[in-house]
Amino acid sequence: MTDTVIEREAAGPDVAAVETTDESPGTTPGAAAGGTQERRRAAISPSRAKDFLQCPLLFRFRAIDRLPEPPSQAAVKGSLVHSVLERLFDLPASGRTEEAAQGMLDPQWQELQQDRPDVTGMFTGPDELGAWLAEARSLLSQYFRMENPRRLEPAEREMLVETELASGILLRGFVDRMDVAPTGAVRVVDYKTGRSPHPSYQDNALFQMRFYALMLWRLHGTVPARLQLVFLGDGRILTHDPSEDELVAFERDLEALWRRMAEVARSGRFPHQPSRLCAWCSFQQFCPAFGGEPPELPADGVTHLLGVQAV
C-alpha cells in the first residue's frame, strides 16, 4: 500500500500546467546542437523518458537530433521562479522573506536574459513582459503561503544526481531541493509553477519523483521517506511516501523502457504518436502527422544514445 496525499493549501493564480526541465538548469534541449564541446555520456532523465512515452519521434528530435526549440513563456517563467527560490536559501534564515524573494526577481531576470538572449524575443512589447513578470511575482507570493523558508534548512538545492543501475543504465536528473530531518529521513521536493494534476494524472506527475527516489536509493542505500511536489499554480502540495518494493518495480519499468528506446534507436524508426500534446510540440514542421518530414537521422546521435547502457 502506498501513501499518496494531496493537500489544499491556498487558492492561487490560474497558471497553465508546465513542467520545468530536468536538464542542467538554464539549458534547453538542443542548446548544444552544433557545439564542439565533448558530450557527456548519455543518460536517461525523467524529461526524456517522458518524452519517449509521449511520442518516440518527439524524443528523437530532442535527444538525438537535438533540434533547437524556441523558448516558451511558461517554461522560462518556471526557470525564473526556480532560480529565485534556489537563491533564497543563500540568505540566512531570518532574511528569507517574501520581500527578499520579490527583490531577487528582477536581477534574476536580467541574469537569465544574459545567459539566454533569445528569451527577450518572447514578448510582443513591454505590456506583455510586465504581465508575465507580474505572474512570476504572484507565484513567489504563493510560495510564501505554502511554505515558510525561514524554518527550512535544505541539505541540497538544484542537486545533480547521477547513478548507474546494476543493469548498466545511467540515470541523471536535477533535484530542486532535498531536506534531511534530524532522524536522517530524506524529503525530496520539486517546485512546479503549473497547477496540480487531476487525481487520475497523479501517477504521471509522480514519475519524475520516483525517478529521483530510485536514484537516491541506489546512490545512498536509503529510500527517501517523502516525495513532495509543490504546485505554485494552484497552491497544492502532492506528497508520496515511496516503498522499496515500489522502487524495485519502477526500476524494472525503466529498464523495460530503455530496452524499447534502444530497439527503436537501432531500427532508426521513431514512430510519431499524435495526441492533444502535439499542440505544444515545437517540431510540427518535421512531423508526418502535420505533413512534415523528419531530417536525416544523425548516426552519431544514435551511437551516443546507445551509450546510456554500459556494455
205 interacts with ligand SF4 by CB under 6 A? no
Contact 305, 265 (CB under 8 A): yes
Q: Lay out the site mask for ligand SF4 across 212-251 (x = CB under 6 A, - = otherwise).
A: ----------------------------------------
Number of residues that bind ligand SF4 (CB under 6 A): 14
Choose which of 15, 42, 49, 57 interacts with ligand SF4 (CB under 6 A): 57
Query: Of these, 18, 58, 214, 264, which contacts ligand SF4 (CB under 6 A)?
Result: 58
Q: How far is the CB of 76 from ligand SF4 (least distance, A)?
A: 20
d(CA 19, CA 66): 19
Q: How far apart are CA 101 and CA 149, in angstroms?
A: 11
The footprint of ligand SF4 on residues 100-119 (CB under 6 A) is: none
Asked if 2 interacts with ligand SF4 (CB under 6 A), we say: no
Contact status: 284 vs ligand SF4 (CB under 6 A): yes
Binder among 273, 297, 302, 307 for ligand SF4 (CB under 6 A): 273
Closest separation in Å from C-beta 63 to ligand SF4: 12
The span from the CA of 299 to the CA of 65, in Å, is 10
Q: Is 287 in the site for ligand SF4 (CB under 6 A)?
A: yes
Residue 95 contacts ligand SF4 per CB under 6 A: no
Q: What residues contact 41, with CB distance under 8 A and at least 6 apart?
A: 170, 307, 308
Cell triple for residue 104?
A: 531577487
Gap between the Cα atoms of 208 and 27, Å rounded: 18
Pick the closest to residue 177 from 162, 161, 192, 188 (CA basis): 188
Cβ partners under 8 Å of residue 298, min gap 6: 64, 65
Beta bridge partners of 8: 236
Q: How far apart are CA 215 and CA 210, in angstroms?
A: 9
Comparing CB distances to ligand SF4, the nearer of 177 and 272 is 272
Min separation Cβ 259 and ligand SF4, Å? 21
Applying CB under 6 A, the residues found at the interface with ligand SF4 are 55, 57-58, 272-274, 277-278, 281, 283-284, 287, 289-290
